[in-house]
Structure 1
Amino acid sequence: MRQLGSWAARAGVGFVRACAVAIVSMLVPAVWAAAVALGIWWGPTNPWSWLAPFVLVCAGTLALSRPVCRMVRFLVARWTGTVIPAGYRQAGPVTRMSTGYWWNGFGYERTRRDALLDQKWRVRWTDPANWRDLRFAVTAPLTAGMAASLPPAGAAAAALGLGQPGPAARLTGALGLVAAVAGAPYAWRPLEPVAVRFLRPSPAMALADRVDELTAQRADTTVVQAAEIRRIERDLHDGAQARLVALGLSLTTAELLMETDPDQARALMRDAQAGATASLAELRDLIQGISPPVLTERGLVDAVRALALDIPLDVTVDADAPLRLDPPIESAVYFGVAELLTNAVRHAHASRARVCLARHDTDVIAEVEDDGRGGADLRTGGGLTGLRRRLAVFDGTLEITSPPGGPTRVKMEVPCESL
């Protein structure tokens, strides 16, 4: 009895899904049928009886192809968990020039609205994905659409045939009912392989997206390096360099006073010694910010544990056996954890945090969770956005779960073949 109920549930869900696939797949053929019906209704003597249906077919197919593909991607992701990348070209930024005109990547316009509108249509009509969508809109009705139409067609035949008195009609109705019930759990399933085959980005589109991504990463890396160099220069100029200059002046003055005022010379020597100690401490802090020695000597796990001791939080570090990664990846993960813990203190006002370092196959996973007020998100120009871009250089990912009120959980995952 339980198996019968399970089968009935599967058949019901499958029937609904098959109807949805049939409707979505047959939208474009429905436009074609409407165009043909319009031409027949006007009759052969009407001069528009052939031109108007042709225009309707072309316009309807172009207008419906992209919405149909988006609905198919949504259904496949919802039902099977398979995410098919859209692969559409993204519009670039619109910039106002010194002349007052707006540059949209293709030409100059007088207003920002005109620049955005021109850019939208240029990107839309020059996108190679249009041909892919048109191909799928024509292919889907003949493949997944026909398979998905079997259960609703069988149900319609059953409804019509079983209501007729003749034995042939009733036999047809019974066969239609059997086809509808037996095929319902499976009729919608061809949609996934067909969509994956025809809707995934072409190699040329994937290559173009990868080139754009690498270009953006290179620009981000250049900006980060320039900012880091400026930070180091500023720290040296305002800290250690100023102290060393003062140290030199103190030593010169002490040398001049050695004969005439030994007590004052000894005082200056003590001040110089204190300045040298402070300069050494500042240089150590600067080196710690560039590349912590503990990270180089003892690895990521011990470096994160040492970092946790300096954070004004109750930080718990859970880790697998000591991880030894490639130095650039170790540095990226370490400074990512440092930034997340700093955010927990400054912005989230957390009292406790937990850092989990683990490995899965060839990936290293770092997860930071705090009990702060939450609300963290990826804002343009924000620290988390910059962290995601820095991880993307290594094909890493950043996942954020931070509902208002907390807790905040950030997961960094970076592939590393050396594991």
Structure 2
Amino acid sequence: MRQLVSWVASACVGFVRACVVLVVSMLVPAVWAAAAGLWIWWWGGNPWAGIAPLVWACIGTFALTRPVCWMVRALVAKWTGTVIPAGYRQAPPVTQMATGYWWNGYSYERSRRDALMDQRLRTRWRDPAIWRDLRFTAIAPITAGVICAIPPAGVAAAVLEFSQSALPGRLAGVLGLVVAIASAPYCWRSVEPVAVRFLGASSAMALAERVDELTAQRADTTVAQAAEIRRIERDLHDGAQARLVALGLSLATAEKLMETNPAQAKALMRDARVGAATSLTELRDLVRGISPPVLNERGLVDAVRALAMDSPLEADVSADVQLRLDPPIESAVYFGVAELVTNAAKHAYATRARISIAWDETGIVVDVEDNGRGGATVRAGGGLDGLRRRLAVFDGTLAVTSPAGGPTRVRIVVPCESL
């Protein structure tokens, strides 16, 4: 009985999905069918009567192409979990030049509005993806559309035949109903392979996107390295360097006072010793900020445990493995966890955090969860966006789940091999 109920539910869901796919895939053919109807209606021996319907059909096709492909991608992702990247060309930023004109990547315009409008048109018409979408809207109706038409066609045939009193008609209606019920759970699945095959980005487009991504990552890495070098220089200049200069002056003064005022010379030497110890502490803190010694000596897990002990939060660390990774990856993951814990205490006002480190045979997986107020989002130019870009250098990903009111869960995944 339970299997029968499950089959009926699957058939009903499949029937609805098949109808949705049929409607979406037939939107563009419906435009051409309407244009053909207008041409027949206007035809009166005038050969120019078909121009207006043809123009209308072309405009409708170009207007519907991208929405149809977007709906197909959304349906496939929702029903099967298969994500098909859009692969559309991204427009470059519009900037104002010193002359007052706006540069949109293609031409100069007098106003920002004109520059954006011109850029939008040029980007869309020069994008190879538009021809891919047009190809899909031509192929989908005769592939997935025809297959998904079987269940509703079977139901329609059953309704028509049941309206007849003759026995052959009723038998044909039963046959149509059986075909509709039997095919409903499977027909809608045909949209996934068709969409993956004809909506996926080509190898050339994927390569171009990868080149753009690597170029952006290289720029981000260069900026981050320059900022880190400036921070180190500033810390050395304002901290250890100033103390070492003062230490040298104190020793020079003590040397001069050694014969005339030994007591004051001894006091200066005591101050110099304290300054040397303070400088050594600052240098150690600076080195620890660049690369923590425990990370180099004992690995990621122990470094994160040491970080949790020094954290203002009550942090628990769980790890099912003790592993060593490449030093750049260990450093990126460690400082990523450190930034997440700091954000939880500083911005989310959390009191507890849980850090989980695992290995899934393809890479390192780190989950950081806090009991803060939530609402964290990856905003362009924000801290989480910077962390995401730093992880992307290693093909890593950052997933944030942070509803309002908390809790906030952040997952870091970096594909790598254990040493």
2:376 is the counterpart of 1:401: no
Higher alpha-carbon deviation: 162-171 or 261-270: 162-171
Moved more, 8-17 or 227-236: 8-17
Aligned to 1:287: 287
Counterpart Cα distance in 1 of 2:120 and 2:376:
31
Once the two structures are overlaid, the 10-residue window that deviates more, 52-61 or 279-288, is 52-61
Q: Look up the equivalent residue of 1:192 and give its one-letter code.
A: E
Structure-2 residue corresponding to 1:173: 173
Structure 1 position 245, deviation (Å): 0.2
How far apart, in 2, do the equivalents of 1:162 and 1:258 lie? 119
Shift of residue 100, structure 1, vs aligned partner: 1.8
**1:107 and 2:114 matched:** no
- Write the mapping of 1:295-374 to structure 2, written as runs, cut at 5 A: 295-374=295-374
Bigger shift: residues 310-319 or 45-54: 45-54
Corresponding residue for 2:50? 50
Partner of 1:369, secondary structure, is strand
Q: Distance in 2 between matches of 1:350 and 1:174?
A: 64
What does 1:3-402 align with in structure 2 at a 5 Å threshold? Answer: 3-402=3-402
SS at structure 1 position matched to 2:358: strand
Q: String of CA shifts for 1:266-319, please: whole Å, max 9, x gaps.
A: 000000000000000000000001111111111111111111222122111111
Q: CA deviation at 1:117?
A: 1.3
- Where do 5+ consecutive residues of structure 2 fail to align? none
Counterpart-to-counterpart distance in 2, 1:187 and 1:346? 52
Looking at structure 2, the residues matched to 260 and 294 of structure 1 have their Cα atoms a distance apart, in angstroms, of: 49
Partner Cα separation in structure 2 for residue 44 and residue 136 of structure 1: 35
Q: Distance in 2 between matches of 1:391 and 1:326?
A: 14
Return 193-202 or 313-322, whichever deviates more.
313-322
- The alignment's TM-score, normalised by the length of structure 2, stands at 0.97
Please tell me whether the aligned partners of residues 38 and 49 of structure 1 are also in contact (alpha carbons under 8 angstroms): no
For residue 358 of structure 1, report the CA deviation from its aligned partner. Answer: 1.0
Residue aligned with 1:258, SS: helix
State the Cα deviation string for residues 167-213 of structure 1 (Å, max 9, x = none): 44333323222221221111111111111111111111111111111
| In structure 1, distance between residues paired with 2:312 and 2:112 | 47
SS in 2 for 1:13: helix
2:323 counterpart letter in structure 1: L
CA distance in 2, matches of 1:201, 1:256: 77
TM-score (norm. length: structure 1)? 0.97
* Distance in 2 of aligned mates of 1:352 and 1:186: 48
CA distance in 2, matches of 1:232, 1:38: 73
Indicate if the aligned counterparts of 2:154 and 2:180 stay in contact, CA closer than 8 A: yes
Deviation digits for residues 236-268 of structure 1 (CA, Å, limit 9, x no counterpart): 000000000000000000000000000000000
Q: Give ranges in structure 1 of 5+ residues lacking alignment.
A: none
| CA deviation after TM superposition for structure 1 residue 48, in Å | 3.0
Equivalent AA in structure 1 for residue 114 of structure 2: D
Q: Is the 8 A contact 1:308 1:315 kept in 2?
A: yes
